[in-house]
Amino acid sequence: MKKTVLMLAFFMGLGTSVGMAGEKLQEKVEITVSDEGFTQIDMDQIPEAVLVALEKNFDGQSVKTVAVKMNEDDTCIYKVILIDNDNKETEALFSDEGEALAR
């Protein structure tokens, strides 16, 4: 009888620990979606064509943030916020192919 009670207590404790670990994991995962439907991404997720266009058109500026939005036709728009030496921000939009898009 004692073994049954101990096993039941062990499994209940294990279930609580796993449940709490799952809650903590969920708290750490964050995806930022702006009002315009863009989702913030890391620099390593930008296509090579967009990186080349950034280097060509915004040489000397630093990338502050990058976000992506999927269109209905499965193409993406990349929104890049850049900062120049005077801390002035510039927003640029690019297609998957690195073409600059008008706002």
pTM given for the model: 0.65
Contact 94, 50 (CB under 8 A): yes
DSSP state of 63: E
pLDDT digits (tens, 9 = 90+) for 43-66: 999 999 999 999 999 988 999 999
pLDDT at 57: 92
pLDDT digits (tens, 9 = 90+) for 14-41: 444 444 444 444 444 444 555 578 999 9
* DSSP track, 15-42: HHHHHHHHHHHHHH----B-TTS-EEE-
pLDDT at 63: 94
Counts of helices then strands in the chain (DSSP H, E): 2, 5
pLDDT at 36: 78
